[in-house]
Copies of this chain bind each other. A is one copy, B any other.
Amino acid sequence: MRVVVPVSGSDPKTRLSAVLSPDERREFTEAMLADVVDAVTAAGHEPDVISTAPIDCPVPVTVDDRGLDPLVNDLLASTVTADEDGLAVVMADLPLVTQEGIERLFAPDADVVLAPGLDGGTNAFVSRHPEFRVDYHGASIRDHRRIARDVGAETVEVDSRRLATDIDQSSDLAEVLLHSDGAAADWLADAGFSLSLTDGRVTVSRE
């Protein structure tokens, strides 16, 4: 099983601009990537990190500036053939993910395994079907269910909060501090972020 972790290395995580400077967004992106690489490695796989621009990472990085859809669809076309055992794609902004979450993604013996994100995204998948392709725009989980059905791929979904929690905006940061002790959580703590309660709801504040 080839495991690819695509990451945006050029001006990443723009929706965090309200709370992080450009340099900080890059550092935080690298910390989240390190957490994902750790989880994949702990699960016994060697992740291929593919970034749109050079980025610091604990494993070698391939730079490829194509968009996500053409990149992943080319990988699917070249990797998933009848005699190969599949391709997994795991997003780089899932700092809550653990070895167990990766193992649960890889466990089902189905043609396609989807890990839905919150808000309709697809945060990770495995394909063992040569015709499955991706379309990450909009509510991609619906499109991926449809694409899998259209090509006759047996599909299962992994019910994981940790795989579902992608970090895009400031309101997501509390999840990192609540549920992780990895590199991204350390980075946030070092940058002065901590949990706080506002009107009974959990947010983050910065000292």
* A residues apposed to B, CB below 8 Å: 100-101, 104, 116, 118-120, 137-139, 141-142, 159-165, 174-175, 178-179, 195, 197, 200-202
Integer count of this chain's copies in the complex: 2
Q: Are A178 and B100 in contact (CB under 8 A)?
A: no
Bound-state Cα–Cα, A100 to B104, Å? 14
Name the B residues within 8 Å of A200 (CB-CB).
Answer: 137-138
User: 15 A-B contacts, Cβ less than 8 Å apart?
Assistant: A100-B159, A101-B159, A104-B159, A116-B161, A116-B179, A119-B174, A120-B174, A120-B178, A120-B202, A138-B200, A139-B178, A161-B161, A161-B163, A161-B164, A164-B164
Name the B residues within 8 Å of A118 (CB-CB).
Answer: 118, 161, 165, 175
Q: Are B197 and A138 in contact (CB under 8 A)?
A: yes
Nearest B residue to A121 via CB reads: B202
Give chain B nearest CB distance to A171 CB in angstroms.
9
Bound-state Cα–Cα, A159 to B164, Å? 10
Bound-state Cα–Cα, A197 to B179, Å? 29
Bound-state Cα–Cα, A142 to B195, Å? 11
Name the B residues within 8 Å of A159 (CB-CB).
Answer: 100-101, 104, 160-162
Nearest B residue to A96 via CB reads: B159
Name the B residues within 8 Å of A104 (CB-CB).
Answer: 159
